[in-house]
Structure 1
Amino acid sequence: MRQTWRWFGPSDLVSIDAMTQAGVEGVVSALHHVPTGSVWAPDMIETRKAEIATRKDGTPSGIAWEVVESLPVSEDIKKQTGDVREHIANYKTSLTHLKAAGIETVCYNFMPVLDWTRTDLAFRVAHGGTAMRFDLIDFAAFDIFILERPGSRESFSEAVVAAAERRFAEMDENRKTTLAENVVFGLPGAAEHFSLAEVRAHLAEYGAIDEDQLRRHFIDFLAEVAPVAEDLGMRLCCHPDDPPFPLLGLPRIMSSEAHYAAILRAVDLPANGITLCSGSLGVSAENDLPGMMERLGGRVHFLHLRNTVREDDAIPCSFYEAEHLAGDTDMVALVAAALAEEKRRKAAGRADVSIPFRPDHGQDILDDLSRKAQPGYPAIGRLKGLAELRGVMKALEHRAR
Structure 2
Amino acid sequence: MRQTWRWFGPKDLVSIDDVRQAGAEGIVSALHHIPTGAIWSPEEIEARKAQIGTLSSGAPSTLTWDVVESLPVSEDIKKQTNDWREHLDNYRTSMRNLAAAGVEVICYNFMPVLDWTRTDLAYRLPTGATCMRFDLADFAAFDLHVLERKGAEDDFPEDVRAEAAERFARMDDDQRAALARNVVFGLPGAAESFTLEDVRHHLHEYSVIGEDRLRSHLVDFLSEVAPLAQELGLRLCCHPDDPPFPLLGLPRIMSTEADYTWLVESVDLPANGITLCSGSLGARPDNDLPGMMERLGDRVHFLHLRNVTRETDGIPCSFHEAEHLGGGTDMVALVKAALAEEARRKAAGRADSSIPFRPDHGQDILDDQKRQAQPGYPAIGRLKGLAELRGIVAAVSHTAA
- Rounded to whole Å, the distance in 1 between the matches of 2:185 and 2:270 is 33
- Look up the match of 1:182: 182
- Look up the match of 1:218: 218
**Contact preservation (8 Å) 1:131, 1:364:** yes
- Rounded to whole Å, the distance in 2 between the matches of 1:37 and 1:77 is 9
Query: What's the TM-score once normalised by structure 2's chain length?
Result: 0.99
What do residues 273-292 of structure 1 show as CA deviations (whole Å, max 9, x unaligned)?
A: 00000000000000000000
What do residues 281-322 of structure 1 show as CA deviations (whole Å, max 9, x unaligned)?
A: 000000000000000000000000000000123111000000
- Rounded to whole Å, the distance in 2 between the matches of 1:361 and 1:188 is 17
- Look up the match of 1:32: 32
- Look up the match of 2:117: 117
Structure 1 residue ranges (4+ consecutive) displaced by more than 2 angstroms after TM superposition: 187-194
Counterpart residue type for residue 96 of structure 1: R
Counterpart residue type for residue 222 of structure 2: L
- Rounded to whole Å, the distance in 1 between the matches of 2:92 and 2:246 is 30
Counterpart residue type for residue 204 of structure 2: A
Counterpart residue type for residue 258 of structure 2: A
- Look up the match of 1:48: 48
1:2-401 paired onto structure 2 within 5 Å = 2-186=2-186, 193-401=193-401
SS in 1 for 2:217: helix
Among the aligned pairs, what percent are the same residue?
Answer: 71
Quote the RMSD (CA, aligned, Å): 1.1
> What displacement does 1:186 show?
1.8
**Shift in alpha-carbon separation, 1:328–1:259, aligned structure 2, 3 A:** same
**Contact preservation (8 Å) 2:114, 2:188:** no
Counterpart residue type for residue 113 of structure 1: V
Counterpart residue type for residue 353 of structure 1: S
- Rounded to whole Å, the distance in 2 between the matches of 1:223 and 1:269 is 10
Counterpart residue type for residue 173 of structure 2: E
**Contact preservation (8 Å) 1:138, 1:164:** yes
- Rounded to whole Å, the distance in 1 between the matches of 2:187 and 2:206 is 20
**Contact preservation (8 Å) 1:284, 1:313:** no
- Rounded to whole Å, the distance in 2 between the matches of 1:187 and 1:63 is 29
Counterpart residue type for residue 238 of structure 1: C
**Contact preservation (8 Å) 1:39, 1:93:** yes
What do residues 203-233 of structure 1 show as CA deviations (whole Å, max 9, x unaligned)?
A: 0010011101100000000000001101001
- Rounded to whole Å, the distance in 1 between the matches of 2:394 and 2:54 is 29
- Rounded to whole Å, the distance in 2 between the matches of 1:6 and 1:34 is 18
> What displacement does 1:193 show?
5.0
**Shift in alpha-carbon separation, 1:234–1:191, aligned structure 2, 3 A:** farther
- Rounded to whole Å, the distance in 2 between the matches of 1:149 and 1:108 is 28
- Rounded to whole Å, the distance in 2 between the matches of 1:94 and 1:189 is 20
> What displacement does 1:263 show?
1.2
> What displacement does 1:194 show?
2.6
What do residues 47-103 of structure 1 show as CA deviations (whole Å, max 9, x unaligned)?
A: 000001001111110101110000000000000100010000000000000000000
What do residues 377-401 of structure 1 show as CA deviations (whole Å, max 9, x unaligned)?
A: 0000000000000000000000001
What do residues 120-143 of structure 1 show as CA deviations (whole Å, max 9, x unaligned)?
A: 000001110100000000000000
- Rounded to whole Å, the distance in 2 between the matches of 1:360 and 1:366 is 18
- Rounded to whole Å, the distance in 1 between the matches of 2:56 and 2:178 is 35
- Rounded to whole Å, the distance in 1 between the matches of 2:82 and 2:155 is 29
**Shift in alpha-carbon separation, 1:188–1:19, aligned structure 2, 3 A:** farther
Counterpart residue type for residue 116 of structure 1: W
**Contact preservation (8 Å) 1:185, 1:193:** no
**Contact preservation (8 Å) 2:237, 2:273:** yes
Query: What's the TM-score once normalised by structure 1's chain length?
Result: 0.99
Counterpart residue type for residue 151 of structure 1: G
- Rounded to whole Å, the distance in 1 between the matches of 2:296 and 2:30 is 26
Deviates more, 1:358-367 or 1:310-319: 310-319
Number of residue pairs the alignment of both structures matches: 401
- Rounded to whole Å, the distance in 2 between the matches of 1:100 and 1:191 is 33
> What displacement does 1:190 show?
7.7
What do residues 231-270 of structure 1 show as CA deviations (whole Å, max 9, x unaligned)?
A: 0010000000000000000011000000011111110000
What do residues 161-189 of structure 1 show as CA deviations (whole Å, max 9, x unaligned)?
A: 11100000000111001100000102677
Deviates more, 1:189-198 or 1:234-243: 189-198
- Rounded to whole Å, the distance in 2 between the matches of 1:62 and 1:315 is 44
SS in 1 for 2:270: coil
- Rounded to whole Å, the distance in 1 between the matches of 2:28 and 2:7 is 6
